[in-house]
Amino acid sequence: MKKTENSRLLDGALVRTASIEAFRKLDPRIMIRNPVMFMVEAGAVMATVISIHTGMTGGPDLSALIQITVWLWFTVLFANFAEAVAEGRGKARADSLRSTNKETQAKKLRNGEKTAVEMVASSRLSPGDFVLVEAGDVIPVDGEIVEGIASVDESAITGESAPVIRESGGDRSAVTGGTRIVSDWLKVRVTAKPGESFLDRMIAMVEGAQRQKTPNEIALNILLVGMSIIFLIVVVTLEPFALFSGTSIPMAFLIALLVTLIPTTIGGLLSAIGIAGMDRLVKANVIAKSGRAVEASGDVDTLLLDKTGTITFGNRMADEFVPLKGVTDREVAEAAAIASLADDTPEGKSIVELAGKLFDFRGDKSKLSKAIAFSAETRMSGADIGEDEYRKGAGDAMRAYAEAGPQVAELGRIVDGIAKSGGTPLVVAKNHKIMGVIHLKDIIKPGIRERFAELRAMGIRTVMITGDNPLTAAAIAAEAGVDDFLAEATPEKKLELIRQEQEGGRLVAMCGDGSNDAPALAQADVGVAMNDGTQAAREAGNLVDLDSDPTKLIEIVQVGKQLLISRGALTTFSIANDVAKYFAILPALFIAAYPQLGALNIMGLASPQSAILSAVIFNALIIIALIPLALRGVRFTPGSAAALLRRNLLIYGLGGLIVPFVGIKVIDLLINAVGLV
């Protein structure tokens, strides 16, 4: 995997494009967005002017001045290159999406009637218009299905080749412009203006054109600018001190000192870290509507998760056959399996499979003389073979249909026990005689308990949301390992829970797909909307999961954590870097006036000129050396905030102190060996 990531990072076309962009970004109107690097560019311009003047007048140290100037420009270019590489990776994905976002002809329905069709360009459609899309048609714009059911190919958006079903009503009624109808037809009400569709917003966000700086990023920028101003004041005051001491410091050397002392490393990589964080979400098939959402996901304290499809598989599966007294396990299993032979639901199939697994049952559907489908009125289903009747259904419905005989109390205990354990009891009868009970379970997904343990280690509280009764919810919550649950959940209860958590100072994340989830998605700090959900849900959330996988919420939190950790680690490394530069440059500037400062030359650098040049070269090279780390992100391992801080300080704090001493010394040896000074 690492090899693949590296090859993508060093792709020749991407590097060439990023190199060109690095020069284009030298435009001061672009550079001013990054004040730290703008200050470096201003220093490079001044150093260039000084070098030209020195060359014309025959001043001293011309070779050193030229080399310092060149490396100052490299420092700016390397920082621009880092940002350009990060943007380029997003633009490649955006170009792929843009190829699907083409002008198409739409079948507009006049007055909403299917019999009155007018062909118009998709750009002429407005919210509220109705369009007809049939097999083979491209859906022209975002919309809400008002009539029909169809199979839709969404591979252009999600990358998933299998078509999905979209239909009017329910939570699968939203369609995205650029997707294609595979079969049947849909009547769609337009919900987006031209140029403001979901795909348009995806393209803008993916390529970084509309990436807004997050609050933490803005705060860090302010800190970096503040530190830069402080160092600028310090450097400006050095020349008067030098004159007082009877010496003079060349202006280019002062510029070099300023550039190496201000936090250029993190200043040059900050934008790349933010863009790369969003790119990692894109790789996970999640589109962020704002950088704030990505960052907030890393600070989440409470995670709200739907039970069905997230914690459990969502389909109840047969787990056990429980007979009444006087009936064998095999008899219950065979009666349940025969009653389920014509039941094509996942639970019906699981009953037949369990009977085959436990008792080698081999039913033949062709031998059924009659199949009884489930209905909401009877609340039972089954089949007949000749004169024999086999039925299964809810407990109260089956009691009304059949006789339990003297085992009524025993049946009640079995049914109540299964319900309290979080399962669903289905009573089985043959010829109006109750045989036993099928224990259906909403199976917990494998590994989910361990994932919740990881989240708990990160200090994140998990809450399961379900429509089940409190007893069933409590049993499933205990088995899954969540910290809390909300039973019999309604939209109002979800919204109330989120507000309670936020009032307690906690950041909340949740996912949803229905219109009834929209208020809670809008209220949550991180609202993950499913792409196959309703338009209301997609508009309310600030993240959209193109795979419509509710478990993705856990992965999103990990990406957010990695973004924050990467930014913190590289900031720590950048600030720690400056210590070595003090020992390299300050003695070099004042050693002529104060020979005693030679004691601070602990690296044994050859000369003042080589010391300054080595520090400038290291300052430039370290930016490009850290580009892969900024783009890939610091490896994330679950743990408490205190443990993560200790790890950062040990690796990036201590590393930031040691690496520059080694690097500057090696560069000093090289430039003296080749006679550059």
Residue 558 CA: distances (Å) to CA of 107, 449, 538, 637: 44, 16, 22, 9
Task: For 3-33, give the DSSP string.
Answer: HHHHHHHT-HHHHHHHHHHHHHTTSHHHHTT
Q: Give residue 661's identity as a one-letter amino acid code.
A: F
Is 396 exposed, middle or buried, given 0-12, 13-18 or 19+ CB atoms closer than 10 A? exposed
Per CATH, domain 315-443 is 3.40.630.10: no
Average pLDDT of the segment spanning 367-377: 83
User: What is the pLDDT confidence band of residue 202, given thresholds at 50, 70 and 90?
Assistant: low
> 264-283 and 215-244 helices cross at what angle (nearest 10)?
160
306 included as an active-site residue: yes
Distance of CA 414 to the CA centre of its chain: 44
Q: In this structure, what are the phi and psi dihedrals at residue 54, rounded to the nearest 5 degrees?
A: -65, -40
User: What is the pLDDT confidence band of residue 209, given thresholds at 50, 70 and 90?
Assistant: very low
Mean pLDDT of the chain: 82
> 35-57 and 215-244 helices cross at what angle (nearest 10)?
30
Q: What is the pLDDT of residue 276?
A: 79
Equal fold, 105-196 vs 286-311+445-546? no
Binding site for ATP: what residues are annotated?
Answer: 343, 347, 374-381, 392
Average pLDDT of the segment spanning 254-273: 87
Burial 630-666 (b: 16+ CB within 10 A, else e): bbbbbebebbeeeebeebbeeebbebbeebbbebbbe
Locate tokens 């739907």: which residue?
Answer: 306
Q: For 77-95, how does the pLDDT look when each residue is reduced to its tens digit (9 = 90+)?
A: 999 998 888 777 666 555 6
User: What is the pLDDT confidence band of residue 6, given thresholds at 50, 70 and 90?
Assistant: very low
Residue 3 pLDDT > 60: no
Tell whether the torsion through CA atoms of 187, 193, 199 and 202 is positive or negative.
negative
Residue 69, CB-side half-sphere exposure with 13 Å CA sphere: 20
Cα three-residue angle 472-478-480, rounded to 5 degrees: 100
Domain ranges of the chain: 105-196, 286-311+445-546, 315-443
SS3 139: coil
Are 188 and 144 contacting, i.e. CB atoms less than 8 angstroms apart? yes
Are 585 and 256 contacting, i.e. CB atoms less than 8 angstroms apart? yes
CATH top-level class for 105-196? mainly beta
User: What is the pLDDT confidence band of residue 204, given thresholds at 50, 70 and 90?
Assistant: low
Q: What is the pLDDT of residue 351?
A: 92
When mean pLDDT is compared across 147-161, 340-354, 490-504, the lowest value belongs to: 147-161
Which one of 306, 525, 532, 549 is the catalytic residue? 306
Q: For 465-522, how does the pLDDT look when each residue is reduced to its tens digit (9 = 90+)?
A: 887 778 778 888 888 889 999 988 888 888 899 999 999 888 899 887 776 778 888 8
CATH architecture of 286-311+445-546: 3-Layer(aba) Sandwich (3.40)
Average pLDDT of the segment spanning 652-675: 90
Q: What is the pLDDT of residue 330?
A: 92
Assessment of whether the complete model's pTM goes beyond 0.75: no
Give CA–CA dist 508/497, Å, rounded. Answer: 10
Binding site for Mg(2+): what residues are annotated?
Answer: 513, 517
Residue 616 pLDDT > 60: yes
